[in-house]
Amino acid sequence: MSSPNADFAPGTVVGPDGMPRPVAPDPAAHVLLASSGGRDSLGALTRLSQWREQGRFARLSVIHVDHGLHPDAPAWAEVAREQAEAFDCAFDARQVRVKRSAAAAGRGSTEAAARDARYRAFDAALAEAATDDPAHPPVLVTAHHAEDQAETILLALMRGSGGRGLSGMSAWRPRAAFAHWRPFLDTPRAELEAAARSSGLSWVDDPANDDPGFARNHLRHHVLPALRAFWPDAVSRVRTSAQRLTMEQGLLGELAELDAGQPLDRTTLDWRRASALPPHRQCNLLRQWLARLGCLPPPPERLGEWLAQLRTAAADRQPLLEWPGGQLRRYRERIHWLQSLPEPTRPRDWPDDQSCLSLDEGGALCRRPVSAESDDDGGRLRKTTEAWRLRPVGGSERLRPAVGRPSLPVKQWFQDQGIPPWERPAAIGVEIGGQLAAVRAGGHWLVDVAFRPQAGEPAWLLVEGGQPGQV
């Protein structure tokens, strides 16, 4: 049976995180098919080209990624190019570097590294497509089909996953500002192969798909055939269970929203209300929150242990939970999720002829001319001919915030502004003429009164944004 998404019914469906997902792309969408040049990719290309002709989306392109792991990779890229040209599709081939795992790490580690590199290439292609043609929002499509879904669910079962993992892949998921669409999750592999054969084109057979050293291949060639021998509709049964689990995950997501009493789309969670919840509700809240952020949650056992530490730790302690998906930390009455710790600020000069200087965390810090009477207070500094420099800030350094007030230790200002300790090394100090003039952290500014512009004086307004090196 073909995917219900193939019918392009209007409206939305509920994803495994409880959030609505579109059933069909925007009619103006630019679909980028990730193609290996294999039969599944060719079958998907055949179907997608039909949908394009029917006006269900506006543009169709093919992107192929060469991981550099097989000597025949250039030939595979050429096959994918020929397939794209046969359907009058633009073709984009990209090469990525994949670090092979050590022998003890296993082939799965190399496979995971290749997948990560591949999706980074897809993300770059999506961003470039959006910039080159903003009238046609890009959507990534992969050719995952019903058997892929069943294998994914069985792998999750063998890993001891919970309801979210056992829900399988979702038809739609966000990729930064874009979307990843899997329209063939309910389509049997045989249907895609039939579509590929109907094209009359050749395809690639990747020998890695038959390598018995990969767990997915063992499921594909041994486990699923054995299941089908007793239950001919085994793939359909697995899919039905996953769909029911998806519905249950939606209900757990709604419960998490009620328990949180706040949006679950931010990287910081106010924990005051949740602190009174029973442990299993706290665990559900955190797992649903992390899933909304696109993060793979930690194992429930580790999360439960961390929550127990949270309940007994003194208010000034910062229990840490670290796992491949990031870190959970508490500061005061808030839970913070971090993908990684911010990089400490490194010293660098700010040349007079540059209005913007790059920041370590990305973006830039810019100085724009304003009048001293401007309503924009924050990071306003008087103009001076003395040399400017950005540098890290010590907590014991002091600035005087206003005339008639004593100087203030930067550490106290951090505490007053609620800047967590792990963010303080990334605070930016603006040094003018060898003296600390201002500090920026957490979007807040502290400017020493000696460097504030007086009435009638020319002034700089320091803002985040712009391009590094801009004049």
**What is the structure's pLDDT at 360?**
74
pLDDT mean over 410-416: 95
For residues 218 and 238, give the distance between their C-alpha atoms in angstroms, rounded to a whole number: 17
pLDDT mean over 288-306: 90
* Residue 91 per-residue DSSP state: E
pLDDT single digits (tens) 315-357: 888 899 999 889 999 999 999 999 888 889 999 999 988 989 8
For residues 103 and 117, give the distance between their C-alpha atoms in angstroms, rounded to a whole number: 20
Quick one: which of 84, 48, 58, 44 has its CA closest to 138? 58
pLDDT single digits (tens) 67-101: 887 888 899 999 999 999 999 999 999 998 887 65
For residues 352 and 389, give the distance between their C-alpha atoms in angstroms, rounded to a whole number: 10
Which residue reads 């999506």 in tokens? 126
The first and second tokens of residue 459, run together, are 């002034």
For residues 95 and 238, give the distance between their C-alpha atoms in angstroms, rounded to a whole number: 36
CB 64 within 8 A of CB 80: yes
Return the higher-pLDDT residue of 172 and 362.
172
Q: How high does pLDDT run on average in the chain?
A: 87
User: Which residues does residue 399 pair with via DSSP β-bridges, in sequence order?
Assistant: 408
Q: Is 202 left (phi over 0), alpha (psi -120 to 50) or beta?
A: beta
Split at pLDDT 50, 70, 90, the class of 403 is confident
Stretch (H or E) spanning 334:
strand 334-338
Q: In the predicted model, is pLDDT for residue 471 greater than 50?
A: no
Which phi and psi (to 5°) does residue 428 adopt? -110, 125
pLDDT mean over 187-214: 89
pLDDT single digits (tens) 133-188: 999 999 999 999 999 999 999 999 998 888 888 999 989 888 878 999 999 999 99
**What is the structure's pLDDT at 29?**
95
What length does the chain have? 471
pLDDT single digits (tens) 23-41: 688 999 999 999 999 999 9
pLDDT single digits (tens) 108-132: 567 778 888 899 999 999 999 999 9
- Is the pTM value of this prediction over 0.85? no
Which residue reads 């040209």 in tokens? 85
Task: Find the range with the poorest average confidence among 50-64, 140-154, 357-371, 396-410.
Answer: 357-371
**What is the structure's pLDDT at 284?**
95
Q: In the predicted model, is pLDDT for residue 5 greater than 50?
A: no
Q: In whole angstroms, what separates CA 420 from the centre of its chain?
A: 23
Q: Is 212 left (phi over 0), alpha (psi -120 to 50) or beta?
A: alpha
Q: In the predicted model, is pLDDT for residue 22 greater than 70?
A: no
Q: Where are the alpha helices (DSSP H) in 319-450?
A: 410-417
For residues 447 and 410, give the distance between their C-alpha atoms in angstroms, rounded to a whole number: 11
Sign for the pseudo-dihedral over CA of 351, 357, 359, 362: negative
Q: In the predicted model, is pLDDT for residue 54 greater than 90?
A: yes
CB 345 within 8 A of CB 425: yes
Return the higher-pLDDT residue of 10 and 467.
467
